[in-house]
């Protein structure tokens, strides 16, 4: 007997005119000591604008997603996008960025760098999405 997955319904909410959407994700690359990340930037109509990807030498999805947020924010800033919505499927990423971490946290440098970027003069939203 075949196993069927229950379909899930996803919705997309249009952002305010002039706002771009940064979606990020991370993954582990098999049995290597490497993780990967990627992201895409869409306009408020949902049309693709830019994409990026990379690898890290740390085997951690959490680290990969933090690097994706950091890299995506850099790209948005350099591309002169000042109104952004940044979305990750990780509640932990959302929590780390919103609540911050101690200087002794394993990924403190990345979280602090994200905070420095978010302190610049732009409108931003960091949120979790399913």
Confidence class for position 127, pLDDT limits 50, 70, 90: low
74-116 confidence digits (pLDDT tens): 999 999 999 998 989 898 998 999 899 999 998 999 999 999 9
What are the extents of the domains in the chain? Answer: 20-128
Query: For the chain, what is the HEC assignment?
Result: CCCCCCCCCCCCCCCCCCCEEEEEEEEECCCCCCEEEEEEEECCCCCEEEEEEEEECCCCHHHHHHHHHHHHHHHHHHCCCCEEEEEECCHHHHHHHHHCCCCCCCCHHHHHHHHHHHCCCCEEEEEECC
CATH match of 20-128 with 3.30.420.10: yes
Whether the per-residue pLDDT at 128 is higher than 60: the answer is no
Q: What is the pTM of this model?
A: 0.85
33-65 confidence digits (pLDDT tens): 889 999 999 999 999 999 999 999 888 899 999
Q: What pLDDT was estimated at residue 130?
A: 42
């Amino acid at each position: 007997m075949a196993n069927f997955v229950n379909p899930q319904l996803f919705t997309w909410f249009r952002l305010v005119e002039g706002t771009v959407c940064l979606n990020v994700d991370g993954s582990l690359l098999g049995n290597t000591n490497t993780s990967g990340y990627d992201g895409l930037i869409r306009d408020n109509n949902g049309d693709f604008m830019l994409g990026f990807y990379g690898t890290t030498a740390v085997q951690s999805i959490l680290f990969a997603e933090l690097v994706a947020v950091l890299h995506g924010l850099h790209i948005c800033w350099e591309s002169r996008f000042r109104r952004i919505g940044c979305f990750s499927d990780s509640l932990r990423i959302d929590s780390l960025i919103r609540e911050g971490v101690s200087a002794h946290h394993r990924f403190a440098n990345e979280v602090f760098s994200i905070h420095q970027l978010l302190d610049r003069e732009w409108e931003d939203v960091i949120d979790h999405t399913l």
